[in-house]
Structure 1
Amino acid sequence: MPHFYDTCSGPICGLYLPPGVWDVLHRENIQTLDQLRVSADQLEQFDGISARMAQVIRQALAHVAPSEEQTASTKQHESWSA
């Protein structure tokens, strides 16, 4: 599905969201992936996050593996290439 907004990386590594979303997350003091995951069900309550944008954020979260999964995946791929 095409999207009609620009995305950029922000303070949460591996997550690309529209600049306005980063502003809202900063204002809400959400600075980590874990903090964002905890707040995912409440995104529409943040001033500046529409229902559609909340859906976009949740989709982006679904595509970002937790750091321990990324580490395990990297180690597995390294052993395959040995």
Structure 2
Amino acid sequence: MELVRAGSRRISHIGETRNVSSGGVLFNDPAEPIELGQPIEYMISLPTGKSMGDVRIRCMGKVVRRDGESQALAATLERYEFVRVNSATA
């Protein structure tokens, strides 16, 4: 996954999801300071059988929990859209 935006700041943090559901996502806590309640935008890459990343989901949500002990961040999944990457041009 890639964290793209936190609030109005554009950032690029590559990480891994720990858990994904229809209501939200849990992922590795980025080094960037992100406040609870702050809106975020993130991209999740899906495996397609041939390679990783040909299909991505662009998601918008907000941060609902930060777990310092396990270094994880939880966010809602409020809106999403599929983004297809054309492998011929990628």
Q: TM over 0.5, yes or no?
A: no
TM-score, normalization: structure 2? 0.27
By relative contact order (CA 8 Å, sep 6+), the higher-ranking structure is 2
TM-score, normalization: structure 1? 0.28
Answer 1 or 2: which has greater strand percent.
2
User: Which one has the largest radius of gyration?
Assistant: 1
